Amino acid sequence: MGSASVGRGQREARYERPESQCEPGMSIGTPHFNPLAAQRNKNMDLSRFARRRYTEGATPIEPLPHFSAALAASCPGGRGPQVWVKRDDMLGLFPGGNKTRKLEFLVADALAKGADTLITCGAPQSNHCRITLAAAVKEGLKCRFVIEERVPNTYNPRGTGNHFMFRLMGVEAITVVPAGAAIAAEMQNVADALARADRKGYIIPGGGSNALGGLGYVACAQEMQQQWFEKGLHFDCVIVGSGSSGTHGGLLAGFLGNHIDVPVTGIGVSRDPADQEPLVHQEAQAVADLLGLNMKVRRESVVSVGGFWQPKYSLPNAVMVEAVQMLARTEAILLDPVYTGKVMAGLIGMARAGALKADQKVLFMHTGGFPALHAYEAVVLGDA
């Protein structure tokens, strides 16, 4: 396990704001939303797609007043944005997280195709693998993983965090491969082995990130649009983690398709913008095409921020530790060290750099992952 220390220049990650991003006045206040007009858009009718339901009702949108005050104290002039949170950490398939939304569509497709086993991939402490396993258990299916050991010696079959959850919920088999392995081919090998045993596997890509999985965050966009309308809320910017691209790309496609004129900014958890944004653009376009929107997603609509995920994917850094501690100690909301901790570190860094203006309303998408905290306890407590 890495330490909380970072390389030279890492503690104060650099952020340069695109001119079009999160400017005052860019959001459209909720009173302009017309639910009847949204209903008339047949292409945005998700009932066309098979879907399992793993969550009862909408996840809450909550203000973070104590966190916002603590953040403002470290911003220019002692003033910062008003931060709110969309609690997708409270989604179904315990203990929740963004993959639940994607799996509602992916597992429905697996069941329709007669699969008896879900096959997916991820890093050693993969939240996606854990939630896919939970969906399999819920549906009476088996589940197998291909784990990519992106950082040498980080896979421990007797480890804590999500490793413990894998064992507790009864994953059928785990194949561990080194960094850079052909993951798609490895998953196909697992499916082929099942076929030879007269079983049928269904391959789910890493993070559940394909066009079908991306529909989960189109559904989330629609859910939030209705919540904003009902509560009289508006936001100037939405901040979301950007990794395998399905959440960021699906949310962007949902905003565009539903005419939600609020900027979406992704905080990279494994890549900087030059490498991340093309993946998000591809995902958003694939989702739009699946919906039949007859729309080209503009490249400039994809905005991400880097510099907060280093030294490597999944390895801790000081800004993540600060973010996890700050939210836990001001709002009693837990972040994970691999994804949401680094995403919140990005939000904090943007606010301190003045990219998120004083008194702007910013919505942070909490995508879950707290079981991984137990694999990093000493680090997030500052004892490492």
pLDDT over threshold 90, residue 204:
yes
When mean pLDDT is compared across 50-59, 63-72, 156-165, 293-302, the lowest value belongs to: 156-165
| pLDDT for the residue numbered 334 | 97
| pLDDT for the residue numbered 232 | 97
Terminal-to-terminal C-alpha distance of the chain? 10
- The Cα 297–Cα 280 span in angstroms is 10
286 or 95: whose pLDDT is higher?
A: 286
For residue 126, indicate whether it is catalytic: yes
Q: Is 178 exposed, middle or buried (0-12, 13-18, 19+ CB in 10 A)?
A: exposed
The mean per-residue pLDDT over the stretch 99-111 comes to 98
Cα 257 versus chain centre, distance? 20
Element housing 176 (H / E): strand 173-178
pLDDT digits (tens, 9 = 90+) for 220-253: 999 999 999 999 999 999 999 999 999 999 999 9
| pLDDT for the residue numbered 35 | 53
How large is the C-alpha radius of gyration of the chain?
Answer: 20
pLDDT over threshold 70, residue 4:
no
Catalytic residue, chosen from 27, 68, 126, 244, is 126
| CA distances in angstroms from 80 to 84, 237, 267, 345, 357, listed in the order given | 13, 14, 19, 15, 6
> Could you tell me the residue ranges of all domains in the chain?
30-95+210-380, 99-208
| pLDDT for the residue numbered 360 | 97
If one counts every other C-beta atom within 10 angstroms of the C-beta of residue 113, the result is: 9
pTM as predicted: 0.89
| pLDDT for the residue numbered 29 | 39
Topology of domain 99-208, CATH:
Rossmann fold (3.40.50)
The mean per-residue pLDDT over the stretch 263-282 comes to 98
- Percentage of residues in the chain having pLDDT higher than 70: 89
- Percentage of residues in the chain having pLDDT higher than 90: 83
Element housing 384 (H / E): none
> Do 30-95+210-380 and 99-208 show the same overall fold?
yes
In CATH, what number does 30-95+210-380 get? 3.40.50.1100
Query: Where does 86-182 have alpha helices with state H?
Result: 99-112, 127-139, 162-169
Residues 6+ apart with CB under 8 A from 248: 240, 241, 242, 264, 266, 280, 283, 284, 304
Residue 89 token pair? 């950490």
The three-state secondary structure class of 267 is strand
